[in-house]
A = this chain, B = another copy of it.
Amino acid sequence: MQSTMQDVPLTVTRILAHGAKVHGSAQVTTWTGEGEPQRRTFAAVGGRATQLAHALRALGVAEGEPVGTLMWNNGDHLEAYLAVPSMGAVLHTLNLRLPPEQLAYIVRHAADRVVIVSGSLLPLLAPLLPHLDCVEHVIVSGAGDTSVLDGPHPRVHRYEQLIAGHPADHYAWPAIDERQAAALCYTSGTTGDPKGVVYSHRSIYLHAMEVCNPASFGLTPAETCLPVVPMFHVNAWGLPHAAFMAGTSLLMPDRFLQPAPLAEMIESERPTVTAGVPTIWQGLLAELDAKPRDMTSLRTVVSGGSACPPALMKAFEERHGLNVVQAWGMTETSPLGSVAYPPAGVGPEEAWPYRVTQGRMPCSVEARLIGPGGEVLPWDGTSAGELEVRGPWIAGAYHGGAGSEPERPEDKFSPDGWLRTGDVGTITSDGFLTLTDRAKDVIKSGGEWISSVELENHLMAHPEVAEAAVVAVPDDKWGERPLAAVVLRDGSSVDYESLRAFLGERVARWQLPERWALIPAVPKTSVGKFDKKVLRRQYADGELVVTTLG
């Protein structure tokens, strides 16, 4: 028996048409820092996106070709989000926070011929341009001194002048295969070169449907969404496309990501849902503590990108009545992987153990935990394994291969095509995911895994320990064993045996480190994370004074 359904593709073109027509009166409001915000209706955004498509075609942008955007969250960027994929080209969002050499690398790796740049970011782009031979056209959105780009190459255009005069009411949108490339985002991996993830029309559409779902963001025409997460970070978690699909008005912060203007725009524009990383919320909390604002419009504050400290969630709730919901995802997962709403019928206090997890996966994201021996582990809340995921908006490869060493494709994707997230954790029988370690930080000891993070947290709970880092070191008998590198508080003289005994009351005996070292401070990355690579190298090079307990 054959299905009798129409064969209609899932495309960004459809999102553009639907939002501009059915939800034409919804608003995109861009914060300007002073004076009135810039306000556009979805109908106007749709018309301007159509003009942009004409303008890009006039510059020779072909189907399948990337168009770079080095832009803040604003109305123009939303137009590029809709126009570029709909015309069959590929939206390449450039992460302005990447180190300059990585930023140049991704423009060259994607071979962007056209880059749209926010005027305020010209000083960032200008010094890179001489290294970007591929770039032929720069389109400047908003005000900004373009003289910094002066020179014969590339050609510089003003966004408004470029789109003016083109028709806003029609474009011969091409027929799209839903598996066609629509958008490109590079990871900001700490090891090796950035790796490109190419989203399809299908993945963006399905992901947007899920973002609208009440178990994730719950977008409807009655909501206003403030994406604080940048549009160059995994498509602002899918919110721009989802909002246009749902008719949810958008409040765009542009470059005003500091706590004070965020508090101000929330108070005056009254968004109902917002999303960003814990660092942003930490800053907002301090701002609100110092100078309370009316935050009552916000029903949900979604936090993702890294684990949200429970104390931060509680402080927001107790001091400002704000509901912080944790979510997990990565560039390779579009990013919606899981959201930590508590189960039905659970009271506020009982909800905390669920809310501090990474949450539950939607139907379209399938998860499994892989143990040290490659076996699939049960969902019992205790068996810890590497999280692998599968689904229509999960990456199965990287653009042009997996990037340079030390990572190889087989480190990132299983033979049967699942994404290896590199995260280690547990899943409860009812699907709540808790991530504890990066896979590269767990100690693989005799077919079992030891969590370095767990050992570190216990050690740092000792009153005389200032900091502690645990790393895997080679061991002839067990493969790997933990090395505990400890920073003591000033004046402390606690010995390793006491620390080991302290740990022994908290973890299983076979997990206890034999190797110990005192260090002056834990090496850290530029963003303040423990840099365990350095410790492993110091150990390998014999730079640490290591004591081995019996």
* Chain A interface, >50% SS class: loop
Q: A343 touching B397 by the CB < 8 A rule?
A: no
Q: How far is the CB of A329 from chain B (nearest CB, A)?
A: 14
Q: B3 touching A222 by the CB < 8 A rule?
A: no
Contact pattern, A 193-230, Cβ under 8 Å of B = 1, otherwise 0: 00011111011001001101111001111110000000
Q: How far is the CB of A380 from chain B (nearest CB, A)?
A: 13
Q: A22 touching B430 by the CB < 8 A rule?
A: yes
Contact pattern, A 338-381, Cβ under 8 Å of B = 1, otherwise 0: 00010111000000000000001101101000000000000100
The complex places the Cα of A395 from the Cα of B7 at a distance, in Å, of 9
Q: A199 touching B3 by the CB < 8 A rule?
A: yes
Contact pattern, A 374-393, Cβ under 8 Å of B = 1, otherwise 0: 00000100000000001111
Q: B202 touching A390 by the CB < 8 A rule?
A: no
A418: B residues at CB distance < 8 A = 6
Given A220-B215, A221-B215, CB of A419 within 8 Å of CB of B6: yes
Q: A198 touching B3 by the CB < 8 A rule?
A: yes
Q: Does A512 lie at the interface of the complex (its beta carbon under 8 Å from any beta carbon of B)?
A: no
Q: A3 touching B212 by the CB < 8 A rule?
A: no
Q: Does A77 lie at the interface of the complex (its beta carbon under 8 Å from any beta carbon of B)?
A: no
A18 in complex: contacting residue of B341, B363, B417, CB < 8 Å: B363
Q: Does A471 lie at the interface of the complex (its beta carbon under 8 Å from any beta carbon of B)?
A: no
The complex places the Cα of A66 from the Cα of B184 at a distance, in Å, of 43
A4: B residues at CB distance < 8 A = 196-198, 395-399
A430: B residues at CB distance < 8 A = 22-25
Contact pattern, A 402-429, Cβ under 8 Å of B = 1, otherwise 0: 0000000000000001110000000001
A14: B residues at CB distance < 8 A = 363-364, 366
Q: Does A508 lie at the interface of the complex (its beta carbon under 8 Å from any beta carbon of B)?
A: no
Q: B90 touching A15 by the CB < 8 A rule?
A: no
The complex places the Cα of A502 from the Cα of B391 at a distance, in Å, of 63
Q: A5 touching B429 by the CB < 8 A rule?
A: no
Q: Does A486 lie at the interface of the complex (its beta carbon under 8 Å from any beta carbon of B)?
A: no
Q: How far is the CB of A393 from chain B (nearest CB, A)?
A: 7
User: In this complex, what residue of B is CB-closest to A43?
Assistant: B429
A215: B residues at CB distance < 8 A = 212, 220-221, 246
Q: B184 touching A1 by the CB < 8 A rule?
A: yes
Q: Does A21 lie at the interface of the complex (its beta carbon under 8 Å from any beta carbon of B)?
A: yes
The complex places the Cα of A197 from the Cα of B1 at a distance, in Å, of 11
Q: Does A44 lie at the interface of the complex (its beta carbon under 8 Å from any beta carbon of B)?
A: no
A343: B residues at CB distance < 8 A = 25, 221
Q: Does A8 lie at the interface of the complex (its beta carbon under 8 Å from any beta carbon of B)?
A: yes
A23: B residues at CB distance < 8 A = 430-431
Q: Does A2 lie at the interface of the complex (its beta carbon under 8 Å from any beta carbon of B)?
A: yes
The complex places the Cα of A382 from the Cα of B218 at a distance, in Å, of 33
User: In this complex, what residue of B is CB-closest to A207?
Assistant: B5
Q: Does A179 lie at the interface of the complex (its beta carbon under 8 Å from any beta carbon of B)?
A: yes
Q: B392 touching A5 by the CB < 8 A rule?
A: yes
Q: Does A10 lie at the interface of the complex (its beta carbon under 8 Å from any beta carbon of B)?
A: yes
A196: B residues at CB distance < 8 A = 4
Give A contacts to B, CB under 8 Å: 1-10, 14-15, 17-19, 21-26, 64-66, 90, 179-182, 184, 196-200, 202-203, 206, 209-210, 212-215, 218-223, 245-247, 249, 341, 343-345, 360-361, 363-364, 366, 379, 390-399, 417-419, 429-431
Q: Which 6 A-B pairs have the closest CB atoms?
A: A22-B431, A3-B200, A6-B396, A18-B363, A4-B397, A1-B181
12 more CB-based (< 8 A) A-B contacts, given A5-B200, A5-B393: A2-B198, A5-B203, A5-B392, A6-B395, A6-B417, A8-B394, A10-B392, A15-B363, A21-B379, A206-B209, A214-B220, A215-B246
Please, could you name 27 A-B residue pairs with CB atoms under 8 Å apart, sorted by A? A1-B181, A3-B202, A4-B196, A4-B198, A4-B399, A5-B198, A5-B199, A5-B202, A5-B394, A5-B396, A6-B392, A6-B417, A6-B418, A8-B392, A9-B392, A10-B206, A14-B363, A14-B366, A22-B361, A22-B363, A209-B209, A209-B213, A209-B363, A213-B214, A214-B220, A222-B344, A245-B363
